[in-house]
Amino acid sequence: MLTMRKNWDIFCRVIDNFGDIGVCWRLGRQLAAEHGVAVRLWLDDLGALNPLCPAIDPNRREQTVAGVAIHQWSDPFPQVEAAAVVIEAFACELPPVYRASMARCPTLPVWINLEYLSAEPWIEGCHALASPQPPLDKHFFFPGFTAKTGGLLRESGLLNARDAVQARLSAHTALEVSLFCYDTAPVEALLSAWQRSDRPIRCRVPPGQPLAAVRRALGGMGPWQIGTLTVTPIPFLPQDDYDRLLWECDLNFVRGEDSFVRAQWAGRPLVWQAYRQDDEVHLDKLSAFLSRYTGGLPSPERDAVKSLFFAWNRGQDIEAAWSTFSAILPALRQHAEVWAKSLCAAGDLAGNLVKFVNSRL
């Protein structure tokens, strides 16, 4: 628990659909609930938070929900007193007037640039490094998968809640799948492969890019029943409800960062679509994650996982990759449970941030 520097400002610009705000909202809630922090979240698009947290009013410029004070980040930015701890999420660049306020503080704030998640080895050497911005220092904080990084967001009761839900589940006759993807995913090819599956498949698809891709592939508005394949549109779920969906499914297709992390905590097999970047840099991030994630698998299973992940991200050879991948799902389920437990060794992101701030006192 913090003894000083209890007021934190988090700045977030919505760029990756719901990914950026999803991370910042989870972080703000956990800091307030578990660490006694007074959190002020500055957000440029309140409408993007509303589907994740229906309790907020996107038309109100200031409001408090779940212990977090939510403020519209607008231009010009208001003259406000800087917080003791300032988180600049994903290099969003602080307003100049706010930086000036930071520089005037008798005790300079702890300034943190919260970076995007990556499994690439180089982040361990860059984690927590300072960048002098006289009279301030900005520190780079990298979420990650090892104890030499900031770890992953994980609320204190998350895994116990997951275990309680999964303990009540009955065995599934059909393969239960959630599908959350970008519009570049080869959805039509995947659905084609699923239609020829010997085991029934029940797929749940949220609105937005995933459902639009399914509608282009299958026509109509859904739900769809094609042979043993059932595809059902579902509403956009608030974060806690989405977590439960991941826990209940046998396989989760996820994207970006927030859903990617939550699928790993679900302890179930997953397929990740990385956010596409220029020069296919996202494939380097994909490869780095797969090197860690598949490290404990025998060679055939490791190759099957990598094949499907790359096919899903490149948009090619999906049907062959799915056939091999689906055959090893029981082994991948056990692996996913072990993987989730192993991630706890790095601590959790919110707790690690608090420890870092205390070290700067």
Listing DSSP states for 62-96 in one string gives EEEETTEEEEE--SSPP--PPPSEEEEETT----H
Q: Tokens 């990759």 label which residue?
A: 321
> Which residue in 9, 20, 250, 348 is the catalytic one?
20
The dihedral built from the CA positions of residue 52, 167, 175 and 297, taken in this order, carries a sign that is: positive
What is the per-residue pLDDT for 1? 40
Q: Identify the three-state secondary structure at position 114.
A: strand
Q: Are 150 and 141 in contact (CB under 8 A)?
A: yes
Quote the CA–CA distance of 15 and 90 in Å, as a whole number: 10
d(CA 324, CA 361): 53
| Average pLDDT over every residue of 102-114 | 97
Interval 25-39 mean pLDDT: 97
Give the pLDDT band of residue 4 (cuts 50, 70, 90): very low
For residue 76, is pLDDT > 60? yes
Nearest alpha-carbon partner for 88 in 116, 66, 69, 107: 116
Q: Give 216's pLDDT tier (boundaries 50, 70, 90).
A: very high
**Distance from C-alpha of 147 to C-alpha of 311, rounded to nearest angstrom:** 30
User: Does the pLDDT of residue 279 top 80, yes or no?
Assistant: no
The arithmetic mean of pLDDT across residues 61-66, rounded, is 96
Longest Cα separation, the chain: 69
At 62 the pLDDT is 96
Q: Is it the case that residue 71 has pLDDT exceeding 90? A: yes
pLDDT of residue 16: 65
What pLDDT, on a 0 to 100 scale, did the predictor assign at position 280?
Answer: 81
pLDDT greater than 70 at residue 50: yes
Q: Is the pLDDT of residue 18 over 90?
A: no
Catalytic residue check, 240: no
| Arithmetic mean of pLDDT, 244-261 | 97
- List all residues 6 or more positions away from 241 whose beta carbon is below 8 Å from its beta carbon: none
Residue 54 has pLDDT above 70, yes or no: yes
Per the annotation, the verdict on 9 as an active-site residue is no
Q: In this predicted structure, what is the pLDDT of residue 188?
A: 97
pTM score above 0.85: yes
With a cut of 50, say whether residue 90 has pLDDT above it: yes
Chain mean pLDDT for the chain: 95
Cα–Cα separations (whole angstroms), residue 257 to 57, 119, 152, 261: 25, 12, 10, 6
Helical ranges in the chain per DSSP H: 19-35, 46-49, 96-104, 123-126, 158-167, 187-195, 209-218, 239-248, 258-265, 281-293, 299-314, 318-327, 329-343, 349-359
Which of the four pLDDT bands, split at 50, 70 and 90, describes residue 2? very low
Instruction: Report residue 339 as tokens.
Output: 């993987």
CB 202 within 8 Å of CB 177: yes
Residue 17: pLDDT above 90? Answer: no
The whole-number average pLDDT for the span 92-99 is: 96
SS3 174: coil
Cα within 13 Å of Cα(299), Cβ side: 0
The total number of residues shown for the chain amounts to 361
Catalytic residue, from 257, 258, 301, 348: name it. Answer: 257
Burial (CB < 10 A; 0-12, 13-18, 19+), residue 335, is buried
CA 226 – CA 357 distance, rounded (Å):
54
Q: Which of 1, 19, 182 is nearest to 89 (CA)?
A: 19
Question: Would the pLDDT of 3 be above 80?
Answer: no
Lookup: tokens for 109:
């704030």
d(CA 230, CA 93): 45
